[in-house]
Structure formats: structure tokens, C-alpha cells
Amino acid sequence: MEKSVKELVEIAKNFIDERDWRQFQTSKDLAEDISVEANELLELFLWKDGKELDKKTREDKEFLQKIKNETADVLFGCLAISDHLNFDLEEAFLSKIKQLEKRYSVEEVKGKSIKIDEEEWLKKNKDSV
């Protein structure tokens, strides 16, 4: 049942077109959808202890299913916006990973929990990106 990213985009596209929903979707709507779905995922964790939640995800299949559903909703939004704006999501992801590999080099960050501001990093490294 393995599917490529392009095949997943096609599945999302067909789902939308079969329902004639494209008429209701702008890039703004789809970006909002991604954010709303990400927050539905986050809501599952709201006000709960992180370590207890990790345990719960291993032991509570119903809870894990809710996480899967919301994660899939986020992915659906990402697939839909890439189709709507006609960009290659796989290429965008791989390009972003390449940039992240430079921004967070293994030598500099291995075992460290750090945040490197993207805008500042891009300014300093504009010639190497």
C-alpha cells in the first residue's frame, strides 16, 4: 500500500474534485485548514503531562488513533495546498531538509536542544543556500 507523495496529492485532489469543493478553496482557506488541523492535534495534548502522554500513546489505542486522524488531517491540508498552488511537495520537503541539514549540522547540534532562528541563519548564509 505504499504511495509516493505525488500519488497522495492525486488522491487528495480527486477527493476534493469529486465533491466539487475546489470552488470553496483558496490558498488562504487551505493554510487556515492546516493550522486548524494542527491545533486539533495539539488539543489532544492540552494541559496534560508530556511523559504521561507518551506512555498513554503506547497503551491507549483509541488515543493513538485520534493522534493518527489529526496528523492525517494536517497531511491532507498540505497535499491540498501543494495541489492548489501547483508546487511539488516532495521537492519542497527535500529542499527544506537540505536547508535544515545545513542549519542544524550534526557536528554543532548533536545531543543539544537548540533553536536556530531561520531568518537570521538565512541572512548569514545566503550564499550557501
Q: Which residues contact Mg ion by CB under 5 A?
A: 37, 40, 70, 73
Taking the complex as a whole, the smallest distance from the CB of residue 70 to Mg ion amounts, in Å, to: 5
Nearer to Mg ion, 35 or 95 (CB): 35
Which residue is at the shortest CB distance from Mg ion? 73
Query: DSSP readout, 105-128?
Result: -HHHHTT------HHHHHHHTTTT
Nearer to Mg ion, 67 or 103 (CB): 67
Residue 5 to residue 40: CA distance in whole angstroms: 23
Taking the complex as a whole, the smallest distance from the CB of residue 104 to Mg ion amounts, in Å, to: 30
Say what the alpha-carbon torsion angle 87, 92, 2, 27 is, to the nearest 10 degrees: -40
Nearer to Mg ion, 37 or 83 (CB): 37
Taking the complex as a whole, the smallest distance from the CB of residue 43 to Mg ion amounts, in Å, to: 9
Which run of H or E residues covers position 101?
Answer: helix 89-103
Nearer to Mg ion, 36 or 94 (CB): 36
Residue 68: how many other CB atoms lie within 10 Å? 11
Taking the complex as a whole, the smallest distance from the CB of residue 55 to Mg ion amounts, in Å, to: 24
